[in-house]
Each structure stands twice: as structure tokens, then as C-alpha cells.
């Protein structure tokens, strides 16, 4: 039987729930900061800091995922967690989705209800 070459699915995670065994994750949060650099020697020129209410995380952008982000924008990030020098997680972004039209309060209520029903 042939092995599938399909990529690993990105697991929906709160930032505080990311663990070292996660291969790909998707997180939903609000842009807290957008950091631009002019260093041509780095592969990832710009970074986002996003928060989801459980924690915040640095997101490294490449030329395919980069655009001008604004503080308070809502985004969903699909990417690979990487451990930084402080033994915390950052994310190397593969896809960033605009989520500004999402009602985040309603979204969080639905997530809580689904989690509660899973425990039953």
C-alpha cells in the first residue's frame, strides 16, 4: 500500500495549548503588533504578534504571506510551531486568512458549547 503524500492537517489550537508534538496548527487571534524589518539577510522579513485571549505568539511571515497588517485585525494563521530561545512557541506562517468579518464573541461561545458537549 502506498503512503499518502497529503500534508498533515492543521489542528485548531488555542495558543496556550500548542505543544512540541504539533506539526501544523491553526490559530485564530487579533493582531497586537506588526513588526517590519529592513534586513535583507533574513528570510522572514516581517512578523506579527497575535493574541487569542489565552496567550500571544510571534508569527514569522514570508513574502507569500506578508501584507500590511493593522493592529486589531482578526486573522487565522495556519503554520508550523517552532520553539524559540525562550523555550516558547513562535509560528512560521504558511497561510494567513482575514477574519475581520467574524463575530469573535459568538465564535467563542460556539467553541465552548462544542467542548462542553464533547465531554458528555
Rg of the chain over CA atoms, in angstroms?
Answer: 15
3-state secondary structure of 99: coil
Q: What pLDDT band is residue 3 in, cutting at 50, 70 and 90?
A: low
pLDDT tens per residue, range 8-30: 789 999 999 999 999 999 999 99
- Distance CA(92)–CA(80), nearest Å, equals 5
DSSP 70-113: -TT-EEEEEEEEEE-TTS-EEEEEEEEEE-TTS-HHHHHHHHHH
pLDDT of residue 116: 85
Between 38 and 104, name the one with better pLDDT.
Answer: 104
Between 62 and 58, name the one with better pLDDT.
Answer: 58
Look at strands 74-83 and 89-98 and give their pairing: antiparallel
pTM: 0.82
Q: What's the average model confidence in pLDDT over 100-112?
A: 88
For the chain, list the domains and their CATH numbers: 11-119 (2.40.50.140)
**Residues in the chain, how many?**
120
3-state secondary structure of 17: helix
Between 68 and 54, name the one with better pLDDT.
Answer: 54
Query: Beta partners for 60?
Result: 47, 92
Amino acid at each position: 500500500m502506498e503512503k499518502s503524500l497529503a500534508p498533515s492537517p492543521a489542528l485548531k489550537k488555542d495558543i496556550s495549548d500548542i505543544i512540541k508534538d504539533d506539526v501544523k496548527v491553526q490559530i485564530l487571534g487579533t493582531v497586537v503588533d506588526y513588526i517590519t524589518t529592513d534586513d535583507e539577510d533574513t528570510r522572514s522579513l516581517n512578523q506579527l504578534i497575535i493574541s487569542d485571549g489565552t496567550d500571544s505568539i510571534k508569527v514569522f511571515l514570508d513574502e507569500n504571506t506578508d501584507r500590511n497588517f493593522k493592529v486589531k485585525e482578526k486573522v487565522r494563521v495556519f503554520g508550523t510551531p517552532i520553539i524559540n530561545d525562550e523555550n516558547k512557541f513562535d509560528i512560521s506562517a504558511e497561510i494567513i486568512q482575514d477574519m475581520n468579518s467574524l463575530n469573535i464573541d459568538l465564535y467563542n461561545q460556539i467553541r465552548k458549547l462544542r467542548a462542553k458537549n464533547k465531554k458528555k
